């Protein structure tokens, strides 16, 4: 069985003082993996992101959607309009490539990264959180709180600090 890298939402719209170190880190990290996936979040018109939490950014076709790093040619880009990319298509691709361990990094540790990690765990695919390569747009406190909670959800050994 094999492992892959999943880079979550490292997009221009999620870069601020708390996350600006992530693009360079993941750009280098991706070179260490044979299989690399990266997600790109977009905020649909009428979504709950807009109507329930009043968050209107990352509209389709905006510059904010662009990746904030240069993906390798082999990288598979997954567009998504929800927190997770773990769906039938993604799971089928992992299975086709005999991947049973997914190393996860990106933005936001407390939202999309966590949702992807838990979804992988629930599908019996071993998630590994690469904490150094994660950050939260909301600030370091959200990132750190999530790293305290995640071991209870997916196991202590699955968090690499």
pLDDT digits (tens, 9 = 90+) for 26-52: 999 999 999 999 999 999 999 999 999
Structure tokens of 135? Answer: 């950050």
- At 67-93, the pLDDT tens digits run 999 999 999 999 999 999 999 999 999
How many domains does the chain divide into? 1
Structure tokens of 57? Answer: 């950014």
Mean per-residue pLDDT, 96-124: 97
CATH code where residue 152 lies: 3.40.50.850
Whole-angstrom distance, CA of residue 88 vs CA of residue 49:
23
What pLDDT shows up at residue 59? 87
What does residue 117 show for φ and ψ, rounded to 5 degrees?
-65, -45
Alpha helices in 18-139 (DSSP H): 22-29, 48-51, 88-96, 114-122
pTM: 0.96
Which residues are registered as beta bridge partners of 103?
Answer: 5, 128
Enclosing domain of residue 69: 2-160
């Amino acid at each position: 069985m094999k492992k892959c890298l999943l880079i979550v939402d490292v997009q221009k719209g999620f870069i601020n003082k708390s996350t600006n170190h992530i693009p360079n880190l993941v750009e280098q990290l991706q070179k260490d993996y044979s299989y690399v996936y990266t997600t790109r979040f977009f905020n649909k018109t009428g979504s709950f992101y807009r109507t329930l939490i009043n968050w209107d950014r990352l509209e389709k076709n905006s510059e904010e959607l662009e990746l904030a790093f240069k993906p390798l040619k082999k990288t598979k880009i997954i567009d998504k309009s929800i927190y997770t990319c773990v769906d039938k298509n993604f799971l089928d691709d992992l299975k086709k490539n005999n991947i049973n361990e997914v190393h996860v990094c990106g933005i936001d540790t407390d939202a999309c990264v966590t949702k992807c990690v838990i979804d992988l765990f629930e599908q019996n695919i071993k998630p590994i959180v690469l904490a150094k390569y994660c950050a939260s747009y909301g600030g370091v406190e959200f990132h750190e709180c999530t790293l305290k909670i995640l071991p209870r959800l997916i196991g202590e050994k699955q968090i690499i600090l």
